[in-house]
Amino acid sequence: MKRLMTVGVAGLLALTGCSSDLPEAPPTVSSAPSATKSEFFDQAEHDRQLSLRDAAPQGPADKPWEQALNPTMVDTGKYAKPGPYEICFSNASVDNPWRQVGWKTMQVEATLHPEISKFTVLDAEAKDDKQISDIQQLTSGGCHALIVSPNTTATLTPAVEAACAKGIPVIVFDRGVNTKCPVTFIHPIGGYAFGATAAEFLASKVGQGGKVLALRVLPGVDVLEHRWAAAERILAAKGVQVAGVEFTGNDGAKAKSIVSDYLQRGDINGIWMDDGTAAVPVLEAFEDAGKKAPAISGEDQQQFLDKWKTEGLTAQAPTYPTYQWRTPVIAALKILKGEQVPQEWILPQPVITDQTLDQYRSQGMPPLHYALCGCQQMPGYPDKWK
C-alpha cells in the first residue's frame, strides 16, 4: 500500500520526518577494484568537478541553496501558469539520517511559499518498482510540477522520461537519471570533488610513506565510487600507502572492529572515509587501543564536529550539503512562474576546516544532525530538527 501524503501547506509543519534504520550491512570486503579499471570513472567529469571547487558561485551570498556554479540558464516560459500550485515529490527514501534531515528541511521550505496550496509526497521506501509506480500515480493527478529524487539511476530513467512526456515540468535532485528531459538537475559538485578534497588533506598530514586506511560504505554506488576513484589517484600520486580498503555498510560497530583489527597489525596514520557516519566509532577504536587519533576525513554530522572541537582533532569534513533539499521547491516555483533556471543546477559544496568549524557547528543538536542543512533560520529550528 502506498504511503501517500497530500497536505495543505498550512498543516505541513505538524508533520514529522519519517525515520528508519540503515539497510543491513553487507559482509566486510577487504579490497576494492582499482580506480583505473572502474566502470564508474569518467576522466572528463572528474576534471570538471575538481575545477568547480574553485568556481565562484552565482546567487545570494547568504543562501547557498540558491547559488549555482557556472550555470547555463534555460527558458521555462512554456510552463508558466497562475497559482496556486500543487507541487508533487517522488522521494527515494528516508532510510538514513542524511535523508531524514533533508526531508525535514524540504517540508519547512514548502511552508514558506503561500503560492503552494498542496504538497503531495510519495515515499518509495528505497524500492525502484515502488518509485516507478509512485511517479505514474503522481503524474496522473493534479500535479503542476514534479520533483524526483531517484532511488537508482538507470532503472528510474524511463519513469522520469514518461513523466516529462506528459508535459509536467520535472525537477531531479540529489541522484541523477540518464536523460536530459528534466527542466533542471540539482546537485552539489559531486563525488569526485568530495573524495579528492579529503585525500589531498590526508596526504598533506600523513606525508609520503604514511599509511591511510580507506573506509567505504558500499560498492557499486556511483557517487561513492567517484569519491574513492578520485581519492585513490591522489593518494597514489602523493606516495601515501593505502593500508587497506574496507566496506563497512555504514555500521559503526563494524567500522570500529575493522579499525581495531588493523591497529593490531601496526600503526595507521590517517583514515579516509567516503561517508562520515562512522567517524566517531572509528576514533574510539584508536582510543581503546591506546593510540593517538589519526588524521581523519569525516562529514558535517554533529557528533563528529563535536568530537573534533572537544578533542582538537586533525580533521577535515568534505560535505554533501543537505541544504540541497530546499532548492527543488524553489526551482519548481521559478519554473511555474516562467523564470529561467540552470539546466544543471550545481550547488556549492563547502569543506569544513579548523578555520570554519565554529561557523558550521551548532550547540545542542542531535548526534546525527547535519550542519549544512541550511535550516538554521527556518521556522521551527532547532526543535523540528531534533
* Distance separating alpha carbons of residues 342 and 184, to the nearest angstrom: 6
> Considering the chain, what percentage of its residues have pLDDT values greater than 70?
90
Please write the tens of the pLDDT for every residue from 60-77.
999 999 999 999 999 999
Please report which confidence band the pLDDT of residue 147 belongs to, taking 50, 70 and 90 as the band edges. very high
How is residue 271 annotated by DSSP?
E
Sign of the dihedral defined by the CA atoms of residues 202, 208, 212, 214, in that order: positive
Give residues with Cβ within 8 angstroms of 53, minimum separation 6.
189, 193, 197, 349
pTM (2 d.p.)? 0.88
Which residues, in sequence order, are bridge partners of residue 173?
186
Query: Which pLDDT does position 29 carry in this prediction?
Result: 36
Q: Which amino acid is at 126?
A: A
Report the CATH architecture of 191-318: 3-Layer(aba) Sandwich (3.40)
* Distance separating alpha carbons of residues 27 and 321, to the nearest angstrom: 29
Report the run of H or E that residue 336 belongs to, with start and end: helix 327-336
The correct CATH number of 44-49+60-190+321-349 out of 3.30.830.10, 3.30.1490.190, 3.40.718.10, 3.40.50.2300 is: 3.40.50.2300
* Distance separating alpha carbons of residues 304 and 188, to the nearest angstrom: 21
Does 22 have pLDDT greater than 70? no
Q: At what angle do helices 43-52 and 222-237 cross, to 10 degrees?
A: 80
Equal fold, 44-49+60-190+321-349 vs 191-318: yes
For 103-127, what is the mean pLDDT? 98
Report the run of H or E that residue 300 belongs to, with start and end: none
* Distance separating alpha carbons of residues 170 and 164, to the nearest angstrom: 6
Please write the tens of the pLDDT for every residue from 31-41.
334 434 457 79
Average pLDDT, the chain: 91
Query: Which pLDDT does position 38 carry in this prediction?
Result: 59
The mean-pLDDT minimum among 199-208, 218-227, 275-284, 296-305 falls in: 218-227
Give me the helices (H) in 166-288, please.
Answer: 191-206, 222-237, 252-265, 279-288
Q: How far is residue 274 from each of residues 59, 174, 187, 248, measured CA to CA in Å? A: 29, 16, 17, 11
Domain ranges of the chain: 44-49+60-190+321-349, 191-318
Please write the tens of the pLDDT for every residue from 313-326.
999 999 999 999 99
DSSP line for 235-265: HHHTT-EEEEEEE-TT-HHHHHHHHHHHHHH
